[in-house]
C-alpha cells in the first residue's frame, strides 16, 4: 500500500483522487462479487488513502503536497456524480458511497461532511437519483446530528442562498421519495416547531380528538 501512496503523491490532486475512486470500485466490487450478500469493509490503509487523496487530510505533515483548487474540487464532484450515475449495480453504489462518506470518528469527518454536502446539493440540482438514493441510506444509518448538518446545507443552498431554486427540492419528492422522507425528518430537527402558536394549537386540538 505504501507503493500506491507514493505513486499517488506524484500525481496532481485531481488525478490522485480519481485513482483512489477507481481503486475503491475495483476492490469493493470484486469483494461483493466474491461474497454476494456480504458487506465488504475497508482496511485501514485504504481508509487512509481515501482520507488523504479524496478528502485532502494529510497523513504525513513532513510531505508538502498541493491541495485541490476549487475548480478541481468541482471537477471531482462531477466525476463522482458521473460515477454513481453510470454504476448500474445498486449494491456497489451503496458500498462505495458508504466507504467514502461513512463517518469514522476522526478529524477527516469534517472534510467528509463538507464534500458530502456539496455532492448531495449537486445531485439535487441535476436530479441524480442514484446519489439521492445512496444519501437516503446514509441519512437512515447516520446519527441525527450529522443528518441535521446535511439538511442544513440543503436548506441554506436552496432556501436561503437561492430561494428561487426551491423547485429543485420539490422535484426530488417524485424523483427519490426515500431521500425526500429522510430529508424531511432531518429538516424538522432544525426547527423548534413547538414555538409556532398555530402549530401548537393544532397539535393540542388533535391530541384531544
C-alpha span between 176 and 130 (Å, rounded): 9
The 10s digit of each residue's pLDDT in 154-208 is: 999 988 888 787 788 888 889 999 999 999 999 988 876 666 555 444 334 334 4
C-alpha span between 157 and 17 (Å, rounded): 26
C-alpha span between 9 and 2 (Å, rounded): 10
First CA to last CA distance, the chain: 64
192 in Cβ contact with 177 (< 8 Å): no
Residue in the block written with cell 497523513: 59
The 10s digit of each residue's pLDDT in 23-62 is: 888 888 787 777 665 566 677 888 888 988 999 887 776 6
132 in Cβ contact with 123 (< 8 Å): yes
> In terms of C-beta density within 10 A (0-12 exposed, 13-18 middle, 19 or more buried), how is residue 50 classed?
buried
Amino acid at each position: 500500500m505504501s507503493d500506491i501512496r507514493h505513486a499517488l503523491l506524484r500525481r496532481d490532486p485531481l488525478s490522485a483522487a480519481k485513482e483512489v475512486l477507481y481503486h475503491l470500485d475495483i476492490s469493493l466490487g470484486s469483494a461483493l462479487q466474491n461474497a454476494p450478500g456480504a458487506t465488504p469493509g475497508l482496511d485501514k490503509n485504504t481508509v487512509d488513502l481515501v482520507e488523504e487523496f479524496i478528502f485532502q487530510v494529510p497523513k504525513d505533515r513532513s510531505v508538502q503536497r498541493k491541495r485541490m483548487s476549487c475548480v478541481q474540487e468541482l471537477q471531482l464532484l462531477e466525476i463522482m456524480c458521473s460515477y454513481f450515475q453510470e454504476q448500474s449495480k445498486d449494491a456497489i453504489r451503496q458500498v462505495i458511497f458508504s466507504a467514502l462518506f461513512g463517518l469514522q470518528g476522526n478529524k477527516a469527518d469534517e472534510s467528509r461532511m463538507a464534500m458530502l454536502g456539496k455532492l448531495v446539493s449537486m445531485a439535487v440540482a441535476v436530479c441524480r437519483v442514484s446519489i439521492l438514493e445512496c444519501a437516503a441510506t446514509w441519512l437512515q444509518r447516520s446519527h441525527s446530528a450529522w443528518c441535521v448538518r446535511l439538511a442544513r446545507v440543503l436548506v441554506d443552498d436552496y432556501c436561503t442562498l437561492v430561494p428561487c431554486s426551491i423547485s429543485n427540492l420539490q422535484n426530488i419528492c417524485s424523483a427519490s421519495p426515500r431521500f425526500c422522507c429522510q430529508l424531511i425528518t432531518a429538516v424538522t430537527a432544525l426547527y423548534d416547531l413547538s414555538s409556532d402558536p398555530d402549530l401548537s394549537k393544532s397539535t393540542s386540538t388533535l391530541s384531544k380528538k
